[in-house]
Structure 1
Amino acid sequence: MLSQLKLPRTQQDWAVFYCRVMALFALQGLVLMALYTLRGFDAHPDTMPPGLKLDPLHSVIHLVTGLIGAYIGFGRPSAAVRFIQIFSVFYLLLAVLGTFTHFHFGMQLQLEENALHWPLGLLAALIGFAPQWLRARTPSA
Structure 2
Amino acid sequence: MGKKYLVVKGKNSKVIETPYGNVKTLIGLSQVSDICCGLGMSTMTSGAYVKQVHDFSDTLVFVLSGKGKISFDNKNWLEIAQNDAVFIKKGKEHEIKNVEKVDLKVVYFSTPLAAIPSDGHRFLN
Pick the TM interval, shorter chain: under 0.3
- TM-score, scaled relative to structure 2: 0.27
* Larger strand share, 1 or 2: 2
* Larger helix share, 1 or 2: 1
Asked which structure has the greater CA Rg, the reply is 1
- TM-score, scaled relative to structure 1: 0.25
